[in-house]
């Protein structure tokens, strides 16, 4: 049985549908705009990250960027002295924790002065200690966003990482020359950690 010829309007409908699919495909393939950079990061790179990567960041230098307080944290393998702060960076809340370099004698002295022993809860130290320990070196710094921050905003700020390491949850973006590691999951930034370059190299070479 011979099929009737397609009418003109049928052909127009097919053309219209084809054009719609073409337009939809082009929309899906359109270039995505770059994520907005973190506006505060350039200043922190100069004032904090680079000095820390060079192993020359002091507590006083860090305090010049954000005011915080000292905490003494007893541990089995030696107490840790931490500097903590919460601040708004361009309207976005972040939490900071930095560890100070301390020798064994200084650790023991602080523990005795605070009346703490192994197993005790951590304790804040008085504000006077901030000035007394201003010249102490910072050996690591961690920044945690307190609200959702897209991981690509970091890439827009400092470029793509040298390495992307798969973790149990998410990825570690490693910037070896900056001593910087970023932990990401589900395209969100979980934390930034900065250590001296030498320390980062040791971590990467440890099996």
What's the whole-number mean pLDDT along residues 64-68? 95
Residues 37, 42, 45, 48, Cα dihedral to 10°? -110
Tell which residue, 168, 198, 196, 197, has the closest CA to residue 183: 168
Which token pair is 168?
């149990």
Q: Cβ(204)–Cβ(174) under 8 Å?
A: yes
Are the beta carbons of 67 and 53 closer than 8 angstroms?
no
What's the pLDDT score for residue 27? 44
Task: Work out the pLDDT band at 179, boundaries 50, 70, 90.
Answer: very high
The residue whose two tokens read 């960076």 is: 89
Tell me what the mean pLDDT of segment 74-96 comes to: 91
Helix ranges, the chain (H): 8-28, 41-44, 50-53, 59-63, 104-114, 128-132, 152-158, 197-205
Band of residue 117 on the pLDDT scale cut at 50, 70, 90: confident
Domain residue limits, the chain: 41-205
Is 33's pLDDT higher than 50? yes
Mean pLDDT for all residues in the chain: 86
Higher pLDDT among residues 200 and 38, named by residue: 38
Q: Which residue has the higher pLDDT, 17 or 8?
A: 17
């Amino acid at each position: 049985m011979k099929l009737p010829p397609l009418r003109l309007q049928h052909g127009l409908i097919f053309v219209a549908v084809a054009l719609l699919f073409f337009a939809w495909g082009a929309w899906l393939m359109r270039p995505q705009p770059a994520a907005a950079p973190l506006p505060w990061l350039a200043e922190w790179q100069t004032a904090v990250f680079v000095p820390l990567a060079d192993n020359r960041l002091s507590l006083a230098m860090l305090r010049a960027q954000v005011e915080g307080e000292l905490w003494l944290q007893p541990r089995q393998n030696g107490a840790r002295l931490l500097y903590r702060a919460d601040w708004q960076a361009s309207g976005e809340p972040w939490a900071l924790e930095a560890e100070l370099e301390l020798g064994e004698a200084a650790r023991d002295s602080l523990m005795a002065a605070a009346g703490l022993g192994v197993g005790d809860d951590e304790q804040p130290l008085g504000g006077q200690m901030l000035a007394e320990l201003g010249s102490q070196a910072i050996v690591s710094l961690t920044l945690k966003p307190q609200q959702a921050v897209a991981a690509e905003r970091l890439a827009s700020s400092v470029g793509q990482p040298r390495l992307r390491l798969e973790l149990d949850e998410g990825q570690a973006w490693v910037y070896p020359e900056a001593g910087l590691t970023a932990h990401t999951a589900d395209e969100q930034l979980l934390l930034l950690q900065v250590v001296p370059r030498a320390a980062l190299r040791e971590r990467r070479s440890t099996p």
